[in-house]
Structure 1
Amino acid sequence: MSSDTAAASQSGGDAQQQKAAGGNRIQVSSSKKPLFFYVNLAKRYMQQHGDVELSALGLAISTVVTIAEILKNNGLAVEKKIRTSTVEINDEMRGRSLQKAKIEIVLGKTDNFDELMAAAAGEAAVGDGEEQT
């Protein structure tokens, strides 16, 4: 990728980030948080905004794919869009730029998302009640 292409993709990425600045973008790291932290955060964002954008670079891509598959397999989400690209990252320690793979997956709520979430909340409330007796 030429530096012109990198600059163009960066400016496009900035526009996407501004569009997603409404609070429905999750940038996933492969090592900072547990998998289900991101799954639960994505559920909350879908409740609030109707959809969520999961984004990751490099080794975290498999984590984003796993999160999306968990939500889809549980009947909570449908894929709206998947984008892949390559971004240039400046490695200050080595004094050169690196190219990293990037993925962005946009998920939307399924028609029965609210019912499934209400049922899960009801089960959690019943479970909490049984533990306290």
Structure 2
Amino acid sequence: MSGDTAATAAGGEVQQQKAAGGNRIQVSSSKKPLFFYVNLAKRYMQQHDDVELSALGLAISTVVTIAEILKNNGLAVEKKIRTSTVEIHDVTTGRSIQKAKVRTI
């Protein structure tokens, strides 16, 4: 799952942008329904043959569910899963926070 354009879902909006890593859908833990992301991934795969799913923290379980739905429907095959931690600066507290990150390709 990877390519040339990226979709960023943050704060409830999806924006198209160029990404070096390919067709990336960054899943947020906002109020977007699960099937919004499933349908977006299907659309990316129709246009570009593949998609990369990415999430931080609590949104990781949503990415796993999306990947499983796509696999179980015969629409996708997981090529790679990458996990890491990233440091994010919390503006409300002024501290840095470690968050889990996952990418499925």
Using the size of structure 2 for normalisation, the TM-score is 0.79
Q: 2:8 maps to which residue?
A: none
- The number of residues matched between the two structures is 88
Structure-2 residue corresponding to 1:19 = 20
**1:92: Cα distance to partner?**
1.1
**How far apart in 1 are the matches of 2:89 and 2:39?**
32
Task: Structure 2: state its 5+ residue gaps.
Answer: 1-17
In angstroms, what is the RMSD of aligned CA positions? 1.3
Report matched runs for 1:1-133 at 5 Å.
18-20=19-21, 24-106=23-105
Supply the AA of the counterpart residue of 2:99: K
Which amino acid in 2 is paired with 1:48?
Q
1:11-42 alpha-carbon deviations (Å, 9 max, x no partner): xxxxxx7313x5x1101012231000000000
* Secondary structure, counterpart of 1:78 in structure 2: coil
Return the letter of the residue paired with 2:39.
Answer: N
| Greater Rg over alpha carbons, structure | 1
- Relative to its length, the structure with more helix (as a share) is 1
For residues 43-98 of structure 1, give each alpha carbon's deviation from its aligned partner in whole angstroms, at most 9, with x where no partner exists.
01011111100000000000000000000001110001110000000011111100
Amino acid at match of 2:74: G
SS at match of 1:85: strand
Q: Name the SS for the 2:79 alignment partner.
A: strand
